[in-house]
Amino acid sequence: MSFELPKLAYSHEALEPHIDSRTMEIHHGKHHAGYTNNLNNAIKGTSMEGLSIEEILSKLDMNNMAIRNNGGGFFNHSLFWNVMSPGGGGVPSGDLMTAINDSFGNFEEFKLAFSKAAGTRFGSGWAWLCVHPGGKLEVCSTANQDNPLMQGIGCGGYPVLGLDVWEHAYYLNYQNRRPDYVSEFFNVINWEAVSASFNKKK
């Protein structure tokens, strides 16, 4: 069994003007497809073949850069498409909002912490909102295609929201203005999907 590039639940242009159609087309169709193919090639014939992507990320030898980079790339982008939607934005509700208030004080403080994590990640990487068993939330960031499920990454819990801050995610529309891209991301966050993941993993 090999991994397959997940289909988008919306069209390439659906997230405009916040995320442009051409970026979505290349990001999903080229970058994510590349990580998927390279992951399949990297695990072929190894003990990782047949494991779930979560198992691969938590068990991999961090010196194996092919599985680390492409396994991370496969999982991270699959999560990323799922936490965005054309009708997104606003604020979460229910238990997730309660947990945000408990962990950060209020939604604005969470937004500041997440935006700072995304803005201060030097070079390529991701910003995350993770949930720990019991429901405690944490904001952190990782380099390259690393992911909170990997061991010893300094960023723990299960990632329920992730933002790609590689230049390929925003350069066509925002050039060097990463803070503008981060700010616009909040207009497309699919809080229902984030809540569903939170409720499953808390």
Q: Does 164 bind Mn ion (CB under 5 A)?
A: yes
- In the sheet with 137-143, reading across from the earlier edge strand, the strands are 137-143, 125-131, 158-164
Q: What is the C-alpha separation between 165 and 167, in angstroms, rounded?
A: 6
Part in contact with Mn ion (CB under 5 A); list of ranges 40-48, 57-65, 137-145, 162-170: 162-170
Which of 166, 181 has the CB closer to Mn ion?
166
Q: Pick from 51, 63, 75, 40: which is nearest to 151 by CA?
A: 63
Q: What is the C-alpha separation between 193 and 197, in angstroms, rounded?
A: 6
x/- track of binding to Mn ion for residues 17-56 (CB under 5 A)? ----------------------------------------
Which of 100, 169 has the CB closer to Mn ion?
169
Q: Does 146 bind Mn ion (CB under 5 A)?
A: no
Part in contact with Mn ion (CB under 5 A); list of ranges 18-26, 104-112, 159-167, 185-193: 159-167
Which of 164, 184 has the CB closer to Mn ion?
164
